[in-house]
Amino acid sequence: MSKDHQPAASMLSSVATFVAGMSADDKRDISDMLRQADIFASTTWRRHDHFSQWMDYHDSRLVKHGCTKLGPLFMDPLFIKSAEDLQKPFALKMFSVRESLKLRDLTIEALNQSGYRDFCIEFIKHGSARSVLTANQTVPCMANPEGGVSLMVCGLQAVGKLTHDGSREVVLRIKGGEYIFNAGQYAKWREEVHSHLLRYGQQQLKHIEL
């Protein structure tokens, strides 16, 4: 990771990264919002099996709780059949009116640290049945010139499978979006989100009680 940003919040399957210069209040609110969105999506869909639906539910929570979606983030599927295919760069497609190259670069940096390459190499060498890696979702966040906070939500899924001729192949897919976080809009939901997180935490403690 670069020196001007650092991991700051770990969700069920997501990691948020905050660029230097963001306020402590914004970091806390965004972390809670993302964690609640993660829980909401995971309650309905198992991300490992229903990647696209999970991402759609996650998106709906962000929009409800104070984010304006500027546009989708995705890439055409990458088909990996050899180690050489892993040299292909991520060609992320963004359609927002405020396309942020900084956020794009932070997203690609995080994806490159997600472990997907090791998964692909191992499957190409030894895979014998369908295998799925749903890497941690990455969410780089940074203050924007307008005084708000820009977020880039990006989820990656790698599916290893045997083709009809018996060879091995991994398909990489990415889905997400670019958002502007509105602290004033989130304030109306802050108490509800916090209460939900507390209830979820208590339930989890009960589940692991010895």
In tens, the pLDDT along 85-112 reads 988 878 888 876 555 788 888 888 888 8
Distance CA 198, CA 132 (A): 31
Distance CA 71, CA 178 (A): 6
- Quick check: 9 pLDDT over 70? no
Long-range contacts of 198-205 (CB under 8 A, 24+ apart): 200/39
Give the pTM.
Answer: 0.83
Q: Say yes or no to pLDDT of 169 above 90.
A: yes
Q: How many Å apart are CA 102 and CA 142, to the nearest integer?
A: 9
- pLDDT (tens digit per residue) in 114-155: 888 888 999 999 888 888 887 668 889 998 888 889 999 999
**pLDDT tens-digit readout, 175-203:** 999 999 999 999 999 999 999 898 876 55
What is the distance between the alpha carbons of residues 161 and 123, in angstroms, rounded to a whole number? 8
What radius of gyration do the chain's Cα atoms show?
A: 18
Q: H/E element holding 183?
A: helix 183-187
**CATH number 3.40.198 given to 5-207:** yes
CB neighbour burial string for 131-145, b if at least 16 within 10 angstroms, e if fewer = bebbbbbbbbbbbee
Domain boundaries, the chain: 5-207
If 0-12 CB within 10 Å is exposed, 13-18 middle and 19+ buried, where does residue 182 land? middle
Whether the pLDDT of residue 168 is over 80: the answer is yes
At CB < 8 A and 24+ separation, what contacts does 163-169 make?
167/81, 168/81, 168/123, 168/124, 168/127, 169/79, 169/80, 169/81
Residue type, 43: T
- Closest CA relative to residue 150, chosen from 118, 178, 110, 116: 178
Task: Identify whether the C-beta of residue 150 lies closer than 8 Å to the C-beta of residue 98.
Answer: yes
Average pLDDT, the chain: 83
